[in-house]
Amino acid sequence: MDQNETNLPQNLERCSWCLKFDQYIQYHDKEWGVPVHDDNTHFEFLILEGAQAGLSWSTILKKRDGYRKVFANFDPKKVAKFTDEKLETILLDPSIVRNRLKVFAAVNNAKRFLEVQKEFGSFDEYIWSFVNHKPIVNRRKSLKEVPATTKESDALSKDLIKRGFKFVGSTVIYAHMQACGLVNDHIESCFRYKELTSISSEPRKK
């Protein structure tokens, strides 16, 4: 995705949270809420959302390329092998949020991620089981109606924590579920709501 691309449709109604800058709008229009079934993409969002804890998503989005560079293009097998020495070097890189706990948690989570893959065949199979392998399509009239957590995110968060993951509280995990299309939380008047509702009704491709 070209962060400098400015040729964006201007006459569409969107969720108001994305209107701050073009890269945010592109993320909303192309990615947010699209059902994800690729494990590396799930791992990417786990790293980025863990980094977001206490910060804004717009801050992390602007640093996404930095994270992609220092975390081996979000390959969990490679990140799981990062040494403490490598992590100390990463902490010197201003292209990411230089929080020691979050950086070290990424390696821990990569190891736990691989364990889940081994147990379930894929992380995707594991995480989608918490929504019965079908996106939850909500009917939000405004952003005020969008919760910070749900019973599904509570259950998933609890299980991830039990498995040893870090920075996976229910709020962080609900953000993951929204981003990766396990739930459709676009407001109903947003042009993406109908598009993604249509995708959600299609049979899942194995």
Residues identified as active-site: 27, 49, 57
Question: Which stretches of the chain are assigned E, i.e. beta strand?
Answer: 136-137, 183-184
d(CA 79, CA 92) in angstroms, rounded, equals 17
8 A C-beta contact, residue 14 and residue 191: yes
Tell me the C-alpha to C-alpha distance, in Å, between residue 187 and each of 24, 130, 193, 195. Answer: 16, 22, 6, 12
Distance CA 185, CA 93 (A): 34
Provide the 3-class DSSP secondary structure of residue 91: coil
101-132 as b/e: b if 16+ CB within 10 A:
ebbbbbbebbebbbebbeeeebbbebbbebbe
Dihedral sign for Cα 157, 159, 160, 162, please.
positive
Question: 184 and 136 in contact (C-beta within 8 Å)?
Answer: yes
Pairing of strands 183-184, 136-137: parallel
